[in-house]
Structure 1
């Protein structure tokens, strides 16, 4: 995302640096997000932050190939591009959860300057804060930022071919928005009584290869 003007860096707005070196197991980091407070639970009114420690590839792979109640989960992980972390607080295990995807896992450099380094991006996990299933830095599993630095640099320099939405000849002139911001033109999405746009099968998970067109 490219901003239309520079961000005013001040006491309440800051930036995170890109990593220049490999991740170190045991390093202390922070996760932040607006995701649910537990698996399929409520969302917070305040931005949440929690400490976690980076785990080695070996520990990550071991945790994600063990079984629960004798059932082989069959998870496949690529620890070259993924990062695992685990944290504890006074109330128990700390982890990312539903709604935190895309958010940061940051390491603080230099306590005086409070410089943040973006080590991971929240992606997926086995539930939230389960014992033996640490968040892999991507939502429980995280994307390892240092492995995609060349792509990030190419994108910032305009070397990546941009994707564009496919336009078509649909006529939008007679769309009835019924007082809402949007209307579902095609597909299994819906708009509820509060005018919120809902994915298919909400609040449960949506399926694969489902498409909606929304005006």
Structure 2
């Protein structure tokens, strides 16, 4: 007789209200675990199948129960992709032999629309929908990001762990690499030592399950501080990052024509020109400024831009809207100190629910001032260098 596993019933108390991906403690044994969807937690599935024991509930994601999963190992290593229907052609693109593009398609299939086992002893498979993109147009004022809205974001920490300071941003681009700015190699607090992923608030970086030691910081060979040319770098983690649909790599712009007249910036930098670092991840839409305009704005910093702005490798973005009042003055949307190394992205129009990084935050003359755009390193001109390190085979 076929007996389907019972989903969590109303008698199970929502005791903790914890988010998916957060650490949890089993109330019976005191063992530490991670809040996972029930269908991704092998011990809980086995307990339901064999003893009907209800697992400890953390929360829900849509209709899916999220439980305290003490065994943090992945359910399975083998590929069951052939057991699910292919993604609709309108949601994805075929691979074309370009490494960055093909990996983008692969990450979409693996993390956003994975082929997963259903919660049944039949062990049938179906394609999950783990898309956390908002459906509205990405035109917002600077504001708090939502949890899991930017699953590629990383926070870079400097100095020893007991006194670590998080001062730059970055983007997950594979299971082993973070993309950031070359000038983010070190700070007054010390060298880059750790990266935190899958977090919304700075305080969440203290969770050991979200923290990875840095093995190597790889600056582009053309970067020569204090100049701001070739301001791009890769961070290799000491241990391969355990990615899920909550920590999805971003795609890289491969140089094909895209509408990048507006981009979305995200980071934990300063909220205002003379304010403190943001506790929560912020987002803002920025407008592209012509190089001619930015050349005038940056004419007084020749020490950093000895050859002027390089329009083949540098972008200029800021806020063309009316400045907003703040504490007796007016400010515009912008990236600020602490946002360095973070991405400017667009929604991929062809590979659904994936962000494409078009640039990396480099520097700016001012923060939040009207008509004073920031400078960003374009990703596409450095694609071959990135691919050769991140996906060498």
Q: Judge conservation of contact 2:291–2:309 (CA < 8 Å) in 1.
A: no
Distance in structure 1 (CA, Å) of the matches to 2:312 and 2:359: 12
Find the partner of 1:115 among 341, 351, 354: 354
1:74-85 paired onto structure 2 within 5 Å: 74=302, 76-85=308-317
Structure 2 runs not aligned, ≥5 long: 1-176, 178-235, 325-330
Which aligned runs of 4 or more in structure 1 are off by greater than 4 angstroms? 22-26, 72-75
SS in 1 for 2:332: strand
Are positions 1:42 and 2:276 aligned together?
Answer: yes
Deviation at 1:135, TM superposition (A): 1.1
Q: Highest Rg: 1 or 2?
A: 2
Partner of 1:64: 298
Which of 258, 263, 284 aligns to 1:29? It is 263
Per-residue displacement from partner, 1:17-73 (whole Å, max 9, x unpaired)? 0111257675221111111112232112111111112233333324333xxxxxx55
- Give RMSD over aligned pairs: 2.9
1:185 aligned residue: none
For residue 101 of structure 1, the aligned residue among 328, 340, 344 is 340
Q: State how many pairs are aligned.
A: 147
Distance 1:40 1:25, change over 3 A: farther
Between the two structures, name the one with larger relative contact order (CA 8 Å, sep ≥ 6): 1
3-state secondary structure, aligned to 2:386: helix
Evaluate the alpha carbon distance shift between residue 111 and residue 9 of structure 1 in structure 2; reply closer, same or farther with a 3 A threshold.
Answer: farther
* Partner SS state of residue 119, structure 1: strand
Q: Relative to 1, partners in 2 of residues 1:73 and 1:20: Cα closer, same or farther, differing over 3 Å?
A: closer
Q: Is the 8 A contact 2:270 2:276 kept in 1?
A: yes
User: Tell me, which stretches of 5 or more residues in structure 1 are unaligned?
Assistant: 66-71, 137-141, 160-215
Instruction: Tell me the TM-score normalised to structure 1 length.
Output: 0.58
Q: Which residue of 2 aligns with 1:17?
A: 251
The aligned residue for residue 243 of structure 2 is 8
Shift of 1:114: 2.6
Q: Secondary structure at the match of 1:52?
A: strand
Q: Counting helix residues as a fraction of each chain, which structure ranks higher? A: 2
Distance of 2:333 and 2:293 partners within structure 1: 17
Matched residues in 1 for 2:256 and 2:314: separation? 12
CA shift, 1:13, in A, is 2.4
